[in-house]
Amino acid sequence: MTDVKGDRSKSPAEQADPDLYVHVTRRTQEGLYIKGAKAHQTGCINSHWLIVMPTLRLGAGDKDYAIVGALPVDAPGITYIYGRQSCDTRSMDEGDLDAGNARYAGQEAMIVFDDAFIPWERVFMDGEYESAATLVERFTCYHRRSYVCKTGVGDVLIGAAATIADYNGVAKAAHVRDKLVEMTHLNETIYGTGIAASYQAARMASGVYLSDDMLSNVCKHHVTKLPYEIGRLAQDLAGGLMVTLPSEKELRHPEVGAIIRKYLQGRADIPTEDRMRVLRLIENMTLGRNAVGYLTESMHGAGSPQAQRVQIQRAMQVEFKKQLARTLAGIAPGSPEEPGEDYLGRVFEPVGAGRATK
């Protein structure tokens, strides 16, 4: 979805280089060809198919950019430029301790299309620029609700923070317990809004259910903020050793290793290596390679914070809420508010009808 965008003050058709948004270069009887690039594409290299789509509202001059189509990841004309991340070379070192998370990891890449071919049977939009905004908004409604997945990562980080506190011998300290409670409270706040967005999903004309737009955006907006505080508290509980820790190479050294095991010991019954492993995991999730998936992606994935604020503003029903307040304050109504309809086709009834109904 995410084009490289070039000059953000200009539309796709106004760019100095037309390839800064993915667009159709030519059409034949068999299909069409696209050129451009998509940035920040998580998991693209280990996927089977790509579906390209617009990234923003389009105008009449942007018809060639109103393209949605599917093509295999290994189709001719596609180049992947792999994203580099902090500490990513550690995975090539001997052993697995310094990787932090040695079992599971993702990847991001920029995908460059150089006249890549899409047959007509896999083209779902071609030139219908009027529908681009609705398509983007409905896609992001699903995607922003899906960011409740960060609470699973949050559970791991809470577990790691509790573990290092235990290994350091401070698990019973009141401030430690309080910080773990706060981390859990923040994590469950994200989870609650995500679940609520699904529970209040609306059935569309096609029969497909679309999660609640307001709560989906609230969920994602929480994700742009709360994981950073969860990460800060995890670093607080981890202590400074998280970033000054020697590497596994030193730990395995025949002379230095014994010194490390002696002086970096926490509780006497916990091996020093286990303490190091948990510290590396916290570092990896809040500063290193996997911080991309937990923190940076929390901020910018599925739209940066302002994108959610725009959607929240559109759906906040201020006039309806003002009428509620005037009624309770005993202010005589003027002309009754007429039923309104939002861009998803959901009807908002006049005062007295309750919240939005379909």
**Residue where one domain finishes, among candidates 127, 152, 171:** 127
CB atoms within 10 A of CB 43: 10
How much is the pLDDT for 351? 41
Q: What is the DSSP string of 93-138?
A: SSSSGGGSS-S----EEEEEEEEEEEEGGGEEEES-GGGHHHHHHH
Q: Are residues 172 and 218 in the same domain?
A: yes
Query: What is the C-alpha to C-alpha distance for residues 198 and 327, in angstroms, rounded to an integer?
Result: 32
How much is the pLDDT for 133? 93
How much is the pLDDT for 269? 97
What is the domain extent for residue 355? Answer: 324-358
Asked if residue 121 belongs to a domain, the reply is: yes
Q: Are residues 72 and 24 in the same domain?
A: yes
User: How far is residue 298 CA from its own chain's centroid?
Assistant: 5
**Residue where one domain finishes, among candidates 93, 127, 161:** 127
User: How far is residue 13 CA from its own chain's centroid?
Assistant: 28
Q: Are residues 37 and 93 in the same domain?
A: yes
How much is the pLDDT for 340? 47
Q: Are residues 339 and 226 in the same domain?
A: no
Count: domains in the chain: 3
Q: Where are the alpha helices (DSSP H) in 200-239?
A: 213-223, 226-238
Query: What is the C-alpha to C-alpha distance for residues 262 and 120, in angstroms, rounded to an integer?
Result: 67
How much is the pLDDT for 231? 96
Q: Are residues 244 and 336 in the same domain?
A: no
Residues sharing a CB contact under 8 Å with residue 163, sequence separation 6 or more, in sequence order: 278
Are 263 and 246 within 8 A, CB to CB?
A: no
Query: What is the C-alpha to C-alpha distance for residues 75 and 187, in angstroms, rounded to an integer?
Result: 40
How much is the pLDDT for 79? 98
Q: Are residues 179 and 303 in the same domain?
A: yes
How much is the pLDDT for 341? 46
CATH number where 31 lies:
2.40.110.10
Residues sharing a CB contact under 8 Å with residue 281, sequence separation 6 or more, in sequence order: 100, 101, 156, 160
Q: Would you write out the chain's pLDDT as a tens digit for each of its 358 residues? A: 999 999 999 999 999 999 999 999 999 999 999 999 999 998 899 899 999 999 999 999 999 999 999 999 999 999 999 988 777 777 778 888 888 777 776 788 999 999 999 999 999 999 999 999 999 999 999 999 999 999 999 999 999 999 999 999 999 999 999 999 999 999 999 999 999 999 999 999 999 999 999 999 999 999 999 999 999 999 999 999 999 999 999 999 999 999 999 999 999 999 999 999 999 999 989 987 676 778 878 888 888 888 899 889 988 989 888 888 888 888 877 644 445 444 444 554 444 434 444 3
Q: How far is CA 102 from CA 155, 157, 285, 289, 316, in A?
A: 18, 15, 12, 11, 44
Residues 46, 48, 52: CA angle, nearest 5 degrees = 105
Residue type, 100: G
